[in-house]
């Protein structure tokens, strides 16, 4: 028997386990997936928790619900990958050997990278919302907060789900307006980027949206430290921003196992061919999702589109054929803008987000770079799709390759 080993049972790893169990012969291939945690989090739902729209129970399910029959599941910490030996060492001394390895170990927030961030105000007046603990603590804080300076800061690029901090400030604007507190809450968006987003049209559209909602933006801010006593963030150039409540998107780093194995770049992301998804250093290792150093968004949609490419290319590798699939960096993000409305962006390595209709040209029903009610319901519906279709590796009615039809140049 041959062994396919998958490290990480988050969105990407779980999808791949489902896809590969259908594709690979059960007589010839064992599939094993390893993860240290038994709970699967619907991470797009974390954003909704601080505003009381979702609670913890809305975003968790047991990981066991999503693995197909015929996949060995091991709940254990991973100590080290030894790519030269085709081995993975687990925490308890177990050694797993593989013929092919899929790395899907994701990214983690590392607040300890910024001096003063995870200090005495952590989860008291300084929060993150990329962990369930942070999101729940912030929900409790907002319940009784009477207003002040609300500062949302992105520590460093790249970070997971690049639109989430924008959605956060849009939600905050609506949340405090509905509570009659908006005139007491000053919202400031502090980012290392030169504007609201990276690409010109989306930056313009989202920048204008911030303006209409009376949200200040401070661009080109690279945080150096947090001063807990004077409640301010300071950047490397000496710029200071005061806060009463700081919501931080901490530095994102790859998994520690990547660092321990000496397989990562300076942020512990694995160097990966951006089209084939093969590791740049090892022929029998492929990388999917946030763990890879691909120049595209770290997001579930990207992992989903990449999973179709990876399934095909992995079969090419196994059968000794040249690669037939090429990943284009496709990302698709629903952006909540508050008041039951949302916008949508669809882009890849080469094409910036453009206006138009999605997924059906001229018909939609979703509007690209437009604020509509349908987009918001698309996002809400997505939670159901995530649990029931996406994780299980079933077909979705959206092409993995980005389409130009329906877009306006």
Partner 1 sequence: MTTKTIANLSVEVTDEGYLKDVSAWNKEIAIAIAKEEGIELTDKHFEVIEFIRNKVAAGEGLTIRGIGKSGVVDAKTFYQLFPGAPLKKATKIAGVSKPVSCI
Residue partners of 264: CB distance under 8 A and separation at least 6: 254, 258, 270, 271
Tell me the CB-side half-sphere exposure of residue 43, using CA atoms within 13 A. Answer: 18
157 binds partner 1 (CB under 8 A): yes
Nearer to partner 1, 90 or 224 (CB): 224
Distance CA 7, CA 156 (A): 26
218 binds partner 1 (CB under 8 A): no
Considering only 66-74, 291-299, 334-342, 389-397, which stretch makes contact with partner 1 by CB under 8 A? 291-299
* Cβ at position 374, least distance to partner 1 in Å: 25
198 binds partner 1 (CB under 8 A): yes
Q: DSSP labels for 82-141?
A: ETTTTEEEETTS-EEE-SEEEE---EEE-GGGSTTTTSTTBTTTEE-SSSHHHHHHHHHH
Candidate residues 194, 200, 361, 365; the one interacting with partner 1 per rule CB under 8 A: 194
Candidate residues 236, 240, 399, 405; the one interacting with partner 1 per rule CB under 8 A: 236
Q: Are 60 and 70 within 8 A, CB to CB? A: no
Residue partners of 242: CB distance under 8 A and separation at least 6: 149, 151, 230, 231, 232
Both ends of the chain: CA-CA distance in Å?
A: 51
Nearer to partner 1, 339 or 349 (CB): 349
Nearer to partner 1, 183 or 265 (CB): 265
Considering only 41-49, 62-70, 83-91, 154-162, which stretch makes contact with partner 1 by CB under 8 A? 154-162
* Cβ at position 320, least distance to partner 1 in Å: 28
* Cβ at position 162, least distance to partner 1 in Å: 4
Distance CA 347, CA 154 (A): 22
Contacts of partner 1 in 365-384 (CB under 8 A): none
200 binds partner 1 (CB under 8 A): no
Considering only 127-135, 177-185, 191-199, 361-369, which stretch makes contact with partner 1 by CB under 8 A? 191-199
Nearer to partner 1, 329 or 393 (CB): 329
- Tokens, residue 227: 């001063």
Nearer to partner 1, 54 or 159 (CB): 159
Candidate residues 178, 220, 240, 259; the one interacting with partner 1 per rule CB under 8 A: 220
* Cβ at position 299, least distance to partner 1 in Å: 9
Nearer to partner 1, 172 or 253 (CB): 253
Indicate left, alpha or beta for 144 from its phi (over 0: left) and psi (-120 to 50: alpha). Answer: alpha
259 binds partner 1 (CB under 8 A): no
Q: DSSP labels for 199-233?
A: SHHHHHHHHHHHHHTT-EEE-S--EEEEETTTTEE
Determine whether 27 is exposed, middle or buried from the number of CB atoms within 10 Å of its CB (0-12, 13-18, 19+).
exposed
Q: Is 236 helix (H, G, I), strand (E, B) or coil?
A: coil
Q: What is the DSSP letter of 390?
A: I
334 binds partner 1 (CB under 8 A): no
237 binds partner 1 (CB under 8 A): yes
Candidate residues 23, 222, 326, 403; the one interacting with partner 1 per rule CB under 8 A: 222
Nearer to partner 1, 15 or 331 (CB): 331
295 binds partner 1 (CB under 8 A): yes
| Sign of the CA dihedral with 132 first, then 368, 210, and 294 last | positive
* Cβ at position 72, least distance to partner 1 in Å: 35
Contacts of partner 1 in 158-177 (CB under 8 A): 158-159, 162
Q: Is 312 helix (H, G, I), strand (E, B) or coil?
A: helix
* Cβ at position 197, least distance to partner 1 in Å: 8
Cα radius of gyration rounded to whole Å, the chain: 21
Distance CA 127, CA 382 (A): 26
**Run of H or E residues at 41:** strand 39-41
* Cβ at position 297, least distance to partner 1 in Å: 6
The phi, psi pair for 266, rounded to 5°, reads -70, -5
* Cβ at position 304, least distance to partner 1 in Å: 18
281 binds partner 1 (CB under 8 A): no
Residues that bind partner 1 (CB under 8 A): 156-159, 162, 193-194, 197-198, 220, 222, 224, 236-237, 265-267, 293-298
């Amino acid at each position: 028997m041959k062994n396919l080993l998958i490290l990480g049972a988050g969105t990407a790893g779980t999808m791949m386990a489902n896809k590969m169990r259908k594709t690979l012969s059960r007589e010839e291939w064992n599939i094993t997936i390893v993860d240290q945690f038994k709970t699967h989090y619907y991470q797009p739902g974390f954003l909704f928790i601080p505003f009381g729209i979702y609670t913890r129970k809305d975003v968790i399910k047991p990981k066991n619900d999503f693995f197909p029959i015929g996949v060995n599941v091991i709940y254990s910490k991973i100590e080290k990958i030894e790519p030269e030996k085709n081995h993975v060492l687990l925490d308890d001394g177990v050694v797993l050997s593989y013929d092919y390895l899929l790395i899907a170990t994701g990214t983690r927030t590392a607040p300890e990278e910024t001096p003063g961030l995870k200090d005495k105000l952590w989860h008291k007046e300084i929060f993150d919302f990329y962990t369930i603990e942070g999101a729940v603590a912030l929900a409790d804080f907002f319940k009784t907060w009477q207003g002040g300076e609300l500062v949302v800061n992105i520590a460093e690029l790249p970070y997971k789900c690049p639109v989430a901090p924008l959605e956060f400030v849009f939600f905050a604007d609506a949340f405090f307006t509905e509570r009659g507190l908006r005139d007491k809450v000053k919202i400031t968006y502090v980012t290392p980027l030169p504007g609201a987003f990276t690409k010109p049209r989306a930056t313009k559209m989202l920048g204008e949206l911030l303006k209409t909602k009376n949200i200040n933006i401070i661009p080109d801010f690279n945080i150096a430290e947090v001063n807990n006593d004077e409640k301010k963030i300071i950047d490397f150039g000496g710029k200071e921003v005061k806060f009463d409540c700081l919501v931080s998107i901490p530095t994102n780093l790859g998994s520690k196992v990547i660092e321990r194995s000496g397989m990562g770049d300076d942020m512990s992301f694995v160097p990966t061919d951006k089209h084939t998804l093969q590791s740049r250093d090892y022929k029998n290792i492929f990388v999917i999702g946030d763990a890879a150093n691909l120049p595209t968004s770290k997001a579930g949609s990207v992992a989903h589109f990449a999973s179709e490419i990876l399934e095909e290319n992995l079969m090419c590798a196994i059968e000794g054929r040249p690669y037939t699939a090429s990943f284009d960096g496709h990302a698709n993000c629903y952006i909540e803008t508050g008041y039951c409305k949302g916008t949508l962006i669809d882009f890849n390595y080469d094409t910036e987000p453009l206006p138009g209709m999605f997924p059906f040209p001229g018909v939609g029903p979703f509007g690209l770079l437009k604020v509509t009610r349908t987009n918001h319901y698309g996002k809400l519906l997505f939670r159901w799709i995530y649990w029931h279709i996406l994780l299980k590796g079933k077909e979705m009615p959206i092409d993995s390759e980005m389409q130009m039809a329906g877009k306006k140049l």
